Structure 1
C-alpha cells in the first residue's frame, strides 16, 4: 500500500481509540517507517534484565574476593569493559566463570564496549570513526557484532544491554557529529537485529545532547538507554540540562556522577567511578537443579496445558534465565524460563523459594520502544474501552511480559501487558510483528 494510505489508517485507528476509550486519551500519532524505533528480534530463551540503584565502574574488573568484600557496600551493580579496540585496561579477571560467580552473589553487570571514538575528539591515539557516514555505519555494525561475540564468551545472554562508550568530542563539527550519530545508529540496529538492547555512554554536554537532539529523527535509530557522565555529585536521573525528562524515561537512564576516587569496603580499596542506574543491564543464566522425584517436563509455555519440549531427570542441572507467572503447581504460580526458551514449574526447582519469585532471578520481560509520537495510553485491560491508567512517552521502553488478544487498533488485535500490569496496543510498540504475536513473548 502507499505510504500516504498507511499513515491515514494509523491516524483513523488512533482517533477511534480515543473515541472509544474511557478517561483521558493521548492522541497516537503515526510512527516512522523504520527509524528512530527499530524492532528487537529476541531469540528463544532471551529476556531483559534491569537494575535500579547505585553502581560503580572500574577500569579493570575486580577480583572475586574484592566483590565479596564489597558486599558490605551500597553498590549492587558493576560496570565491566567487555571489549572494543580502545579498551584501555587489561581484564584478567573478566571470564565466564567470574561472571557466574559475581551474578550468584546477586550483583548485576553493566557491559561497556569502548570501540572507535569520534574523529574530532577523545584521545589523539584512539582509533577513530570514519568521517564518511557510510563507513561509519559499517563500523557501527561491526562494533555491535564484536560486542555480541565478546558478551557471549562471558555468558551474557540475548536481551542484555551493551553500552557504547563514546568520549568527549567537539560539538561544532557537523561532519564529526554525523559520523558519530551514523555509527551509533548502526550499532543500535545491529544489536536489535541480534536480540540485544542498545545503550550509549556520553558526556552530558559533549555528546549526549546531540544524541537527544535526534531523538525523533527518522535518519537515525534511537538507542534504548542513555548513560551520561556529569561529575556534579548529584545522582538524580532527571533534570539533565538539554535532555527532556520525557526522553529515555522508563527505566532507560544512568548517570556517572562522580569520577575516579578511592572507596574502601570490607578492608579492600578500589578506585572507582560512581553511578546511579535505572536501566537495562546484562542478562545471565543461573544454575539450579531438579528437585522432583520423577522426571520434570519442560514445556513450550508456563502451564501444563502447553506441549512438552524436553524432560529432565531428577537432580539434573537447569540453566534458568528468568521467571514468569503461569499455572499454579503445588504452592507456586512461578515458572522458570530456561536458556532454550522452554518453561518448568518452579515448584520442582531448587530456587530459594517455591512459593514466589527468587532473587537474583529477574522477571521475564521483552522491552520494545513506544512509537506513538505524542505518547501511548496505558489501560487497565486489553482494549480501548478499558480505563486509562497511565501513559508512556514516545521512545519509552514498553517492558512487555506477555501478549493477548483485545480490541483491534490499526492492523492488530494484539495487546501487550507491561510489567506494571497495564496494557498497551501492540500497534504502537516496535515489536517485530505489526499484525500478530511476536516470538518469544508468551501469551497472557
Structure 2
C-alpha cells in the first residue's frame, strides 16, 4: 500500500455485525492499556539477559573491566527521584553514550516518593490523598531527566516502590494510585512504564489490580525476591499470564560484592526479559554523495532531509523496507527519518545489525483474554500463537488486512507474528498509528 493510501481511515463494521446477529469483539473500556503515543524519533528496546544494579553508576573503567568477564550484559542507573540516596558523579549523557557504545544495556530506575507505609526511613512519602499528584509529578520529572541523559521515547523507566506494610489502612490503594498516575505520565510522553517492587507487597497488589478498568496498568514489572533463582517465570505472587510478553525482570540476589577484571563492586543481581532504555548509536554515512532522509523506509516516501557523505548519523533502530542494493534494512535516525542501511557503516550490509534493535512501538493488548496471533494480516491465516490480555504487542509495522470490528489495520510484531490492531492500545483502533511505518 502506498504511503498516501495509508492515511485513509477505515469505516466501522459494528452495525453490520449487529444486524447479522454477530457480536463484535469489544476492547477493554477504560484505562488498563492507556495508549502510548510515540514521537517519530523513538523505539522500544527489549533484551533477555542478566544485569546488575548498584547504587552509584559505575565508572566506565569499571564497566570495561567487567565486560566479557562477568555474566552481566546490563546495568541499572538510578537517574532521578527525591529519595535517590546516592550521588551520581558518573551519570551524564556522555556516560550513557559511552556505556551503551561499550555494549551495556541500561535499566533506568527512578527513586521517587515512597508509600507512607514503607518498611524503611525514606524522607519523601505519599498518602492515599497525595498518591495521584505524586505519581504524575514523579512521572513528568522522570521523563525530563531521561531526556536529558539521552534516553529516548520508547525507553522503559522503572519506578522503585520499596517494600511496604499492606495491612496499613489505605496503603494498597495509595500504591496502586501512584503507579497508575506514573504510568499515565510516562505514556503521555511516549515512554514505557515499569515498576520495581517486592514480591509480597507491590507485585502482589499490582497483580491483583491487573484487570482494573480504572487504573492504568504498568507495562513491565521488576520483582525483588532474593532466592538466588534467576527466572522471569513461575513467580509466587504474579502468575505467568500477567506481564507475559517481554515484560518481566527479577532481582534474585541482594547486596553482595563481585570482582571481575580486578574491579570489585557491591551489587544486586538481576535477570530481565523485557524493555530497557533506548539510546541512539553513532555511525558514519558511507554514500559517495549526500544521502536522502525519508519519512518512511522506502524511496516512495517523501524526502525530508539529507546527510553529507562521511558525516556522523545517530541510529535509533532498524526497520524492514524497500530493497536497496543488497539490503532491505532501513535505519531510523535521531531526526525521526529513515535512511537506507546500505549507506551507513553498521556491521552488516545485508541484514539487521546487533546491537541495534528492530524498531518497535509497543501497545498493550486491550482485553482481558488472550488474542490469537497469525501468520499473516487476516483471520484466514493460520493461528501461530496468542498474546495474553495486557501483554505488550511490540509492533514493527502495519498493513491492511481482514476487517476486525472497526479496523482493517493489522500489526506485524517483532518476530513476525501478526495481530489485529483493534486489540492493541495505540493512537487509533480505526486507522494507522504514526509513527509506525507500513509493512513492505
- Short-chain TM bin: over 0.9
| Matched ranges for 1:1-80 at <5 A | 30-71=26-67, 72-80=69-77
- In 1: Cα distance, 2:169 partner to 2:25 partner: 30
Q: Aligned pair 1:200/2:195, yes or no? A: yes
Secondary structure of residue in 1 paired with 2:186: helix
The alpha carbon displacement at 1:384 in A equals 1.2
Q: CA 1:232/1:292 → structure 2, altered by over 3 Å: closer, same or farther?
A: same
Q: Is the 8 A contact 2:75 2:105 kept in 1?
A: yes
**8 A Cα contact 1:291 1:315, kept in partner:** yes
Q: In the TM superposition, what are the counterparts of 1:264-413 in structure 2 within 5 Å?
A: 264-413=259-408
> How do residues 243-262 of structure 1 correspond to structure 2 at under 5 angstroms?
243-262=238-257
Q: Cα 1:117–1:330, aligned 2, differ >3 Å: closer, same or farther?
A: same
Q: Distance in 2 between matches of 1:422 and 1:358?
A: 21
- Give the 3 Å change call, closer, same or farther, for CA 320–168 of structure 1 in structure 2: same
Q: Deviations over 1:356-383 (max 9, x none)?
A: 2222211101110001221111011111
Which of 246-255 and 334-343 deviates more? 334-343
Q: Provide the C-alpha distance between the structure 2 equivalents of 1:37 and 1:29, rounded to a whole number of angstroms.
A: 16
Q: Is 1:414 paired with 2:409?
A: yes
Is the CA contact (8 Å cut-off) linking 1:29 and 1:372 kept in structure 2? no
CA contact (8 A) 1:370 1:395 kept: yes
Distance in 2, Cα, partners of 1:207 & 1:367? 24
Using the TM superposition, name which of 347-356 and 95-104 deviates more: 347-356
What is the CA distance between 1:387 and its match in structure 2? 1.1
Q: Give the direction of change, closer, same or farther, for the CA distance of 1:356–1:209 in structure 2 (3 Å limit).
A: same
Q: Is the 8 A contact 1:30 1:373 kept in 2?
A: no
* Secondary structure class of the residue paired with 1:172: coil
Q: Which runs of 4+ in 1 moved over 6 A?
A: 8-13
Distance 1:16 1:189 in 2: 34
Shift of 1:233: 0.6
TM-score (norm. length: structure 1): 0.93
Find the partner of 2:179 among 184, 188, 194. 184
Q: Is the 8 A contact 1:9 1:410 kept in 2?
A: no
Q: Residue 30 of structure 2 contacts residue 214 of structure 2 at CA under 8 Å; is this kept in 1? A: no
Q: State the SS of the aligned residue for 1:205.
A: coil
The equivalent residue for 1:117 is 114
Conservation of the 8 A alpha-carbon contact between 2:28 and 2:367: no
Q: Check conservation: 2:52, 2:267, Cα contact below 8 A.
A: yes
The 8 Å contact of residues 313 and 333 in structure 2, kept in 1 or not, is answered as: yes
| SS of alignment partner, residue 235 of structure 1 | coil
Residue pair 1:225, 1:279 contacting (<8 A) in 2 also: yes
Asked whether the 8 Å contact 2:196–2:221 carries over to 1, the reply is yes
Q: Which residue matches 1:96?
A: 93
Q: Deviations over 1:159-190 (max 9, x none)?
A: 00000000011112241111111111000011
Higher relative helix content: 1
Contact 2:296–2:437 at 8 Å: present in 1 too?
Answer: yes
Counterpart contact for 1:415–1:425, Cα < 8 Å: yes
RMSD: 1.9
Q: Distance in 2 between matches of 1:69 and 1:9?
A: 64
| 1:20 corresponding residue in structure 2 | none
The aligned runs of 1:152-171 (5 Å cut-off) are 152-171=147-166
SS in 2 for 1:200: strand
Q: What pairs up with 1:134-173 in 2 under 5 angstroms?
A: 135-173=130-168
Q: 1:81 aligns with which of 78, 81, 100?
A: 78
Verify: 1:128 aligned to 2:125, yes or no. yes
SS of equivalent residue, structure 2 residue 362: strand
Contact 2:25 2:405 in 1 (8 A): no
Helix, strand or coil at the partner of 2:162: coil
1:58 offset after TM fit, Å? 0.4
2:225, 2:26 → 1: CA distance? Answer: 35
With the length of structure 2 as denominator, give the TM-score of the two structures.
Answer: 0.94
Give how far 1:312 is off: 1.0
2:102 matched residue in structure 1: 105
Structure 2 unaligned regions, length at least 5: 1-11
The 1:125–1:429 alpha-carbon spacing in structure 2 relative to 1, beyond 3 Å, is closer
